[in-house]
Chains A and B, each alone.
Chain A
Amino acid sequence: MQLTNRRKEVSHKEQSIAEKIYLPAILKGMAITASHLFKKSPTINYPEETRPIAPVYRGQHVLKRDDNGAERCTACGMCAVACPAEAITMESAERKKGEEALYREEKYAAVYEINMLRCIFCGLCEEACPKEAIFLTDRLVDTEFERGDFIYGKDKLVEKMTERIDVSKRQTPEVLEFKKKPGLKHNELFDSSKQLGKGKKH
Chain B
Amino acid sequence: MTVFLIYKAILCVLIFAVSLGVAAYATWWERKFAALLQDRKGPNRAGPLGLFQPLADGGKMFMKEEIIPNVSNKFLFILGPSLFLFLSFLTGVLIPWGKDFTYDGHALALQLTDINVGLLYILGVTSIAVYGIIIGGWASNNKYSLLGAVRASSQMISYEIAMGISIIALVITAGGTLSFREILDTQDAGLANICYQPLGFLIFFICALAETNRAPFDLAECETELVGGYHTEYSAFKLGAFMFGEYINMFVSSAIMAGLYFGGYNFPFAKEFYHMIGLEDGSAWISLIGAGVYLIKTFIFISVFMWIRWTLPRFRYDQLMNLGWRVLIPLSLLNLAITVLVEIFIRGTIQL
A interface vs B, CB < 8 Å?
21, 26, 29-30, 32-34, 36-37, 39-43, 45
Contact = CB atoms under 8 A, between A and B. Distances in A.
B310 interface: yes
B307 A34 contact: yes
B39 A36 contact: yes
Contacts of B40: 41, 43
9 shortest A-B CB distances, which residue pairs? A33-B311, A43-B41, A33-B37, A41-B39, A29-B311, A30-B311, A37-B36, A36-B37, A39-B39
B41 A37 contact: no
Contacts of A43: 40-41
Contacts of A42: 39
Contact of B312 (A29, A40, A41, A45): A29
A45 B41 contact: yes
B197 to A, nearest CB: 17
Interface SS of chain B:
loop
Contacts of B311: 26, 29-30, 32-33
A33 B41 contact: no
Given A33-B37, A33-B307, 12 more contacts: A26-B311, A26-B312, A29-B312, A33-B310, A34-B37, A39-B39, A41-B36, A41-B39, A41-B41, A43-B40, A43-B41, A45-B44
B35 interface: yes
B46 interface: no
B236 to A, nearest CB: 26
Contacts of B154: none
Nearest to B44: A45
B131 to A, nearest CB: 31
B38 interface: yes
B320 to A, nearest CB: 12
* Residue in A21, A32, A33, A45 with the greatest tally of chain B CB atoms within 10 Å: A33
Contacts of A39: 39
Contacts of A34: 37, 307
Contacts of A41: 35-36, 39-41
B12 interface: no
A14 to B, nearest CB: 15
Contacts of A37: 36-37
A36 B38 contact: yes
Contacts of B308: 30
A25 B314 CA distance: 14
Nearest to A25: B312
A30 B311 CA distance: 6
B47 to A, nearest CB: 15
B34 to A, nearest CB: 10
A32 B307 CA distance: 11
B203 to A, nearest CB: 12
A143 B312 CA distance: 38
Contacts of B38: 36
21 contacts: A21-B327, A26-B311, A29-B311, A30-B308, A30-B311, A32-B311, A33-B310, A33-B311, A34-B37, A36-B36, A36-B37, A36-B38, A36-B39, A37-B36, A37-B37, A39-B39, A40-B39, A41-B36, A41-B40, A43-B40, A43-B41
B166 to A, nearest CB: 16
Nearest to B37: A33
A33 B40 CA distance: 13
A9 to B, nearest CB: 26
A30 B303 CA distance: 12
